[in-house]
Amino acid sequence: MTSPEQLSISWQSLLEALPDGTALIDRRGVMHYVNAELAFLTGYTHDELVGQNVQILIPPDLRPLEGEARRQLARNPDSRIIWNDRNLTVLQKDGTERSVDFALSPLILDGTRWTVGSIRDNSAQRAAEQARIEAEQHFRLAFEDNMAPMVFTDLEDCIITANDAFCAMMGRTRSELIGFDSKPFTFPDDVGIAEASHERLLHDEIRQVRYIKRYLHKDGRMIVAEVSKSPARDKTGKTLYFIISERDITEERMLTAQLSHQALHDPLTGLANRALLDDRLQHAHSRIVRHGGHGALLLLDLDDFKGVNDTYGHLVGDQLLAAVAHRLEGVTRSTDTLSRFGGDEFLYLAEGISGADEAEMIAERFLRSLDEPFVIGDLSLEQRASLGVVVWDATTAELSNVVRDADVALYEAKRLGKGRQFVYVPGMHHQVINRFSMVQDLRQAVASEELAMHYQPIVRLSTREVVGFEALMRWHDHQRGWVPPGVFIPLAEQSDLILDLGAFALHESIVAAGEWGRSKASLSEPYVTVNLSARQFHDPGLSALVKRELDASTLPADRLIIEITESVALMEVADTLEMIEQLTGLGIGVALDDFGTGFSSLSYLALLNPMIIKIDQSFVRPAIESIHSDRLLETIVSLGHNLGMTMCAEGIETEGQLERLRALHCSLGQGFLFSPAVPFAEAAMMVGTTF
């Protein structure tokens, strides 16, 4: 028998020539011959390997494989084992592992069975494989798992692949998308939107295009997307396909639209706001300057709207405003702009009108549209308005004057009795009616004795004798003439000016009533009632002021009565009760004014416990005209009686009204039937008389 050693020359040259690391292994696994490549791949020397069991080259976790190989060879001694598809490694001398392919071949030499084992380093392939896997993972991350909707399209714009985000954005599955172009789910107006840029991308003129495109979601919704499209090119620069990345900006767009609408519209009425109107006004003016013609501005202010808010609360006030806006909108022309100018004011811009006549017709339409009462919940509310109208043309130099002139005209409309319109007359004396200057003039008025208190007699209805007077403020302005308190009191209430006016009213009235008491020998001295506005009544210094005035006068405290309206009383009930207590503590009386126009509940009325209830003239006037109003009046009077309060009816103008009130046992009253408010001297003559 020839041993391998004896054949060494031919074996060596043969095995050394093999590119693989090779060993000749006996049946026990001992290596009898190893080539230099095996020594190289394992890090051992030739001598360290020869005589060793192959086990030393097998990593522990792969040792079971050796058993498998052995069993396979036992079953089929002539078979070869080639393992190049498993992650096999060889254990190197330094303990590290090298990735290899592995083969075992049987060899019979002179009847002795040997095994030729060989390994081939495959780390390069494995690295390439790893790189491929990683590239795939990267792609998955970059494309498939990308949060941004992405698609690849071919040069004909057919979808090659789409990621999950794109499918979700469109509400479609991949199979509903791949192989199709985007036409069927593109918003019709946007089909072909990117065609021009498509060509330029193909011809390498641009590297990327961005555009906004609207799609149709499967459920029919419109989707707005921001699209960026770039070509994928090969090494030669040839475009292979397009990479399209999208951003769903539907919500963003909606939000922006909403915000810009909000920025330009009044949230309550949905009408244009001041900013939008200003802008339209500018444009209208430029058009008039270029093409001629007239524009008109109509400033509409709701009459006595504050009363609605005070009486029924802001919720009802808001509903009424919205309802008014709706009515006004109903009579506007589509080319014009109706805006809410703030609070209860509306400003209307009319373009292309022929002149003042047409503007007046528009104003008339607005006023008529408010004729019918407004139904808010269970309430039926009358709401009228006053309108200031101004017409302008290209000769108007300063546009801001137009708004101011409308305001001037509006105040003239109010002054003339409300519920009407007034057209601004160029050259109209601003000082006369400008409400801004009015506040300043009112300040002066206190000092320059333009303010006076007038006194309206209060009569015992059964005997018609004068029992007291209501002090009512009058302003005689040297330019404006008589300005009614309904105009200047609300203006004064906007600042501390009202406190000065209130102090004036108190002082004058207390002095006046003191005089009457002295001058006339009547059975009972007349009392005086003084109206207080909210600011005054809730001013903590009020009772001290009243006490100082009373101390300085001859008027007994029980001859002074303070009038507050229901809405003032209900504003801060706890404060009100405290103030009433302080005032009654001084011995003076409290009357609840304009009763019936407010919203007071019975429990509040009992709590406030006023000495006198003044029934508002709106209940007195229509009483004899309608059964319903009559019942209301009857109820109010008996209500007051049951609570032990004295009832005083306001606004008695006819004998009929007087008769009815007498029949109801209403004890006191005032009104033009007896006398309007008159100056001090005239009032003095009425003390102790009967009407």
The footprint of ligand C2E (CB under 6 A) covers: 456, 472-473, 484-486, 489, 505, 531-533, 563, 593-594, 617, 650-653, 670-672, 676-677
Helix (H/G/I), strand (E/B), else coil: 662:
helix
| CB of 157 or CB of 650, closer to ligand C2E | 650
54 binds, among Mg ion, ligand C2E, none (CB under 5 to 8 A by kind): none
Helix (H/G/I), strand (E/B), else coil: 249:
coil
Shortest separation between residue 644's beta carbon and ligand C2E, angstroms: 23
Shortest separation between residue 431's beta carbon and Mg ion, angstroms: 30
Shortest separation between residue 673's beta carbon and ligand C2E, angstroms: 6
485 binds, among ligand C2E, Mg ion, none (CB under 5 to 8 A by kind): ligand C2E
Shortest separation between residue 531's beta carbon and ligand C2E, angstroms: 4
672 binds, among Mg ion, ligand C2E, none (CB under 5 to 8 A by kind): ligand C2E
Letter for the amino acid at 545? L
Residue closest to ligand C2E (Cβ): 671
Q: Are the C-beta atoms of residues 390 and 364 closer than 8 Å to each other?
A: no
Shortest separation between residue 529's beta carbon and ligand C2E, angstroms: 8
- The label of the residue with tokens 């009357």 reads 591
473 binds, among ligand C2E, Mg ion, none (CB under 5 to 8 A by kind): ligand C2E
- The contact set with Mg ion (CB under 5 A) reads 531, 563, 593-594, 650
Q: Are the C-beta atoms of residues 445 and 451 closer than 8 Å to each other?
A: yes
39 binds, among Mg ion, ligand C2E, none (CB under 5 to 8 A by kind): none
| CB of 363 or CB of 499, closer to ligand C2E | 499
| CB of 323 or CB of 439, closer to ligand C2E | 439
| CB of 412 or CB of 594, closer to Mg ion | 594
For residue 600, count CB atoms less than 10 angstroms from its CB and return exposed for 0-12, middle for 13-18, buried for 19 or more: buried
486 binds, among ligand C2E, Mg ion, none (CB under 5 to 8 A by kind): ligand C2E
CA-CA distance, 674 to 651, in Å (whole number)? 10
* Structure tokens that stand for 97 in this block: 């592992």
CA-CA distance, 303 to 416, in Å (whole number)? 12
Shortest separation between residue 651's beta carbon and ligand C2E, angstroms: 4
| CB of 224 or CB of 499, closer to ligand C2E | 499
561 binds, among Mg ion, ligand C2E, none (CB under 5 to 8 A by kind): none
Q: Which residues pair with 121 in a beta bridge?
A: 100
Shortest separation between residue 677's beta carbon and Mg ion, angstroms: 10
CA-CA distance, 257 to 251, in Å (whole number)? 10
CA-CA distance, 608 to 591, in Å (whole number)? 10
Shortest separation between residue 467's beta carbon and ligand C2E, angstroms: 16
Shortest separation between residue 531's beta carbon and Mg ion, angstroms: 4
In whole angstroms, what separates CA 129 from the centre of its chain? 58
CA-CA distance, 126 to 53, in Å (whole number)? 27
| CB of 308 or CB of 324, closer to Mg ion | 308
Shortest separation between residue 277's beta carbon and ligand C2E, angstroms: 33
For residue 532, which of 523, 541, 524 has the smallest C-alpha distance?
Answer: 541
Helix (H/G/I), strand (E/B), else coil: 419:
coil
298 binds, among ligand C2E, Mg ion, none (CB under 5 to 8 A by kind): none
SS3 track for 381-406? ECCCEEEEEEEECCCCCCHHHHHHHH
| CB of 340 or CB of 621, closer to ligand C2E | 621
Q: Are the C-beta atoms of residues 489 and 306 closer than 8 Å to each other?
A: no
CA-CA distance, 633 to 625, in Å (whole number)? 12
CA-CA distance, 663 to 361, in Å (whole number)? 48
Q: Are the C-beta atoms of residues 288 and 379 closer than 8 Å to each other?
A: no
Shortest separation between residue 401's beta carbon and Mg ion, angstroms: 39
Q: Where are the alpha helices (DSSP H) in 53-206?
A: 63-75, 123-139, 164-170, 174-177, 195-202
| CB of 358 or CB of 653, closer to Mg ion | 653
**Cβ count near 604 (within 10 Å):** 16
43 binds, among Mg ion, ligand C2E, none (CB under 5 to 8 A by kind): none
* Structure tokens that stand for 391 in this block: 């017409």
| CB of 143 or CB of 455, closer to ligand C2E | 455
| CB of 22 or CB of 576, closer to ligand C2E | 576
Q: Are the C-beta atoms of residues 201 and 230 closer than 8 Å to each other?
A: yes
| CB of 459 or CB of 489, closer to ligand C2E | 489
